[in-house]
Structure 1
Amino acid sequence: MSLVISHLARRFGATQVLRGIDLTVDQGELIALLGPSGSGKTTLLRIIAGLDWPDAGGLSFDGADWLAKSAAERRIGFVFQHYALFPHMTVRDNIAFGLSVLPRSDRPAKAQIASTVDGLLSFLQIEGLADRYPAELSGGQRQRVALGRAMAINPRVLLLDEPFGALDAQVRRDLRRWLRGVHDSAGTTSIFVTHDQEEAFELADRVVVMNGGVIEQTGHPDEIYDHPATSFVARFLGLTVEVPVTMRAGRAQAAGIDLSALPRRAMADGPATLFLRPADILPVPDPQAPFRVTEIASTGALLRVVAQDDAGCRIEAEVPRREGRDLRKGQPVALRPAAGQIFPGGPQTAAVPIQTPMTLKEARP
């Protein structure tokens, strides 16, 4: 029972919000839609839920055309960022709401509704909150209640829009682990929207990176982290150091930078851009190197080290403080990246990397 999205497009006035989205979500998968604000994530989620309609494209579930069905007919569970609980209802009544408003022909008996709610209260570990009102709950407790209400109708697909966005960092981390456990136990097909990379990577089976209404990359979290498919994905996932390099026989070359740890790339000779994460760069004292340390700042466990050459190439590295104890301001250093991604073209114009059997093999998690 797959959810299939094909060539989906949506426009608001002159703004093209979705530009031909193609995505298949398999039964039981937990999918993260990851991207910056305005990338089209929530619009896509709302179309799946039946709260908005596309201008073009198709949406089907288990072979049935969902664009011909109302939101109620799709049997979607939706968890909103700010919970949207009914303040005048108890926790028990909030969870029961979706069942109690079903058409009479589909509505379970009161005893069955009560049994379903009791089961969810236990499953979500909120039995003691059944008779409280939303105002008497913490943010994390409200989120559990909102999830219980969405799950009560036994949804075909569970949708979550920035489910932890209104919570503090520690509660978010705790609830992420809890939600993954709930998903695995229930076996529900789930799609959640987030702009938080850590959240997406910790929770999802697959991550869908969106930007400007298109899907930039879809894959396993480790694959996307280690092998971003476009320069946008690279920048979005923290490869913020961009170094101009020259490709020669599949190897990148740059003065003062030891690139021997990087795998050979099946790319044409010529200019390219190397994308690096600061944590993957090790500055090594070298009196012959063209780079000099211009800044050193400690964050406690890490040293932030900035090195620059005479041509103005500025590179920021993060190293464990104990490994950088020999570094000094003004010291010449060579740079040794442990990992990076290379795209054809100069900085800020780097294109999609050339896909070859060699690079695809390297991309396996």
Structure 2
Amino acid sequence: EELVDMTKPGIENRGRAKGYIGLLHQEYDLFPHRTVLDNLTDAIGLEFPKELAMRKAIITLRMAGFSEEKSQDILDRYPSQLSEGERHRVALAQVLIREPRLVILDEPTGTMDPLTKVDVKHSIMHARDEMEETFIVVSHDMEFVRDICDRLALMRGGKIVQIGGTKEVLDSLTDEEREVMGKSAPE
């Protein structure tokens, strides 16, 4: 395995690990005036021959949970022509196309409706299984966390206070934390 020496500055004094990390913000942005294909290929900042770009985009869309047929079907569509769940999966694909070693998802379910949330949950789990890389999920959605995470780090006051298995950590939540998060920890 390749380790990154974090004690040395990277190019232009940027973090050395930056190239290994993919981040999907809660409020992700797709360029509304660009097709899905352009949104994906622009994300990696390289010019590819169209056929190669299409192939890489389809492979990545499949990692994000689209079927082969659906992946081909949406390449020439604009974000406004996609459902909310499809846009979220394309945004996830935008992160995955860079082939990060570590994927960070910031509140990936945000304010989604229940159907979109299930769709996105499946796409994240599929991508994680396909890539066999580490996904870090920052979330207040305990139901989502219970369904998708195998380990948790619980933070209180900006500090990690517990790390462990999902059930173990969720069981340790206070009643107030459960109330704030809107969900009870699993029984």
Q: Same fold (TM over 0.5)?
A: yes
2:5 match: 64
* Aligned counterpart, 1:223: 168
* 2-structure distance, mates of 1:108, 1:199: 37
Encode CA deviations 1:50-71: one digit per residue, 9 max, x unaligned: xxxxxxxxxxx82421772336
Secondary structure of the structure 2 residue equivalent to 1:119: helix
Equivalence for 1:98: 43
Q: Give the C-alpha shift of residue 145 in structure 1.
A: 0.3
Deviation of 1:181 after TM superposition, in Å, equals: 2.3
CA shift at 1:209, angstroms? 1.0
Match of 1:121 among 58, 61, 72: 61
Alpha-carbon deviation of 1:236? 4.8
**After the TM superposition, which residues 324-363 of structure 1 pair with which residues of structure 2 at under 5 Å, given as runs?**
none
Deviations 1:207-260 (A, max 9, x none): 11111111121111111233x2xxxx32355499xxxxxxxxxxxxxxxxxxxx
CA distance in 1, matches of 2:156, 2:177: 13
User: TM-score, normalization: structure 2?
Assistant: 0.79
Answer whether contact 2:35 2:78 (CA < 8 A) is retained: yes
Residue aligning to 1:160: 105
Q: 1:237 to 1:96 in 2, by over 3 A?
A: same
Query: Residue 168 of structure 2: SS of its match in structure 1?
Result: helix
- Give 1:137 deviation, angstroms: 1.4
Structure richer in helix, relative to its length: 2
Which secondary structure state, in structure 1, belongs to the residue aligned with residue 33 of structure 2? coil
Q: How far did 1:193 drift?
A: 1.0
Counterparts in 2 of 1:67 and 1:81: CA distance versus 1, 3 Å: farther
Q: What is the CA–CA distance in structure 2 between the aligned matches of 1:141 and 1:72, rounded to whole Å?
A: 32
Larger Rg: 1
1:83 corresponds to: 28
Count of residue correspondences: 174
Q: Which residue of 1 aligns with 2:52?
A: 112
Q: 1:146 to 1:209 in 2, by over 3 A?
A: same
Is the Cα contact below 8 Å between 1:85 and 1:146 reproduced in 2?
Answer: yes
Aligned equivalent of 1:190: 135
Please list every run of at least 4 consecutive aligned residues from structure 1 whose deviation after the TM superposition is greater than 4 angstroms: 107-111
Percent pairwise identity: 30
| Alignment partner, residue 74 of structure 1 | 18
Q: Return the match for 2:147 from 198, 202, 216.
A: 202
Distance across 1 between alignment mates of 2:7 and 2:86: 32
**Structure 2: runs of 5 or more not aligned:** none
Please give the TM-score of this superposition, normalised by the length of structure 1: 0.43
Q: 1:81 deviation in Å? A: 1.4
Unaligned runs of 5+ in 1: 2-60, 241-276, 281-365
Q: 1:167 to 1:219 in 2, by over 3 A?
A: same
In structure 2, give the amino acid aligned to 1:122: R
Residues of 1 paired with 2:8 and 2:158: CA distance? Answer: 20
